[in-house]
Amino acid sequence: MTSISIEDLKEYVREQYGKIAVNYDQRYEFMKRMIAENKLAEILDAKIFPETEVLKKIIEEAKLKSGDKLLDVGCGTGIPVVFLSKIVGPVGQAFAVDSSDSMIKKGIENARELGCKR
């Protein structure tokens, strides 16, 4: 049986996510267009996004509304948290963290492209 340290495992996971970060958003392209067009209700009604039910659950369970603050841990390239940032609005705040620098970099690009200020 081979032993691996926690730090080596973390580094391996970071490397793997770094490799897929470039193409990770292909599955989100349609959702990104809908966010850009501010079609938030349509996203929640759509059955084509696997994340739709999760987003609905987050909004309902957290009672997410304008002015709230939220944190997405393991945000990947940030499309769901950008969507949720539109729910909390300009007076709210959305924060995102990920262990992969490549995912964070892509997430920052996505956030800027979709109108997030910071």
Q: For the chain, what is the domain count? A: 1
Per-residue confidence band for 14, with pLDDT thresholds at 50, 70 and 90 = confident
Residue 93 lies in a domain: yes
Q: What is the pLDDT of residues 42-62, one digit of tens each?
A: 888 887 777 888 899 999 999
Here the CATH number for the domain that contains residue 96 is: 3.40.50.150
| pLDDT tens-digit map of 51-97 | 888 899 999 999 999 999 999 999 999 999 999 999 999 999 999 99
Nearest-Å Rg of the Cα atoms of the chain is 15
CA-nearest of 67, 29, 64 to 48 is 29
- Residue 14 within a domain: yes
Range of the domain at 74: 6-113
Residue 118 belongs to some domain of the structure: no
Distances (CA, A) of 12 to 19, 22, 53, 86, 99: 11, 17, 30, 33, 11
Q: Assess whether pLDDT exceeds 70 at residue 1.
A: no
Alpha helices (H) in the chain, listed in sequence order:
6-20, 29-36, 40-45, 52-61, 79-88, 101-113
**pLDDT score for 4:** 85
98 lies in some domain: yes
Q: Is the pLDDT of residue 2 over 80?
A: no
Q: How far apart are the first and last CA of the chain?
A: 46
Does residue 29 lie within any of the structural domains? yes
> What is the pLDDT, as a whole number, of residue 36?
92
Whether residue 28 lies inside any domain: the answer is yes
Residue 35: predicted pLDDT: 92
The helix-helix angle for 29-36 and 101-113 (nearest 10°) equals: 40
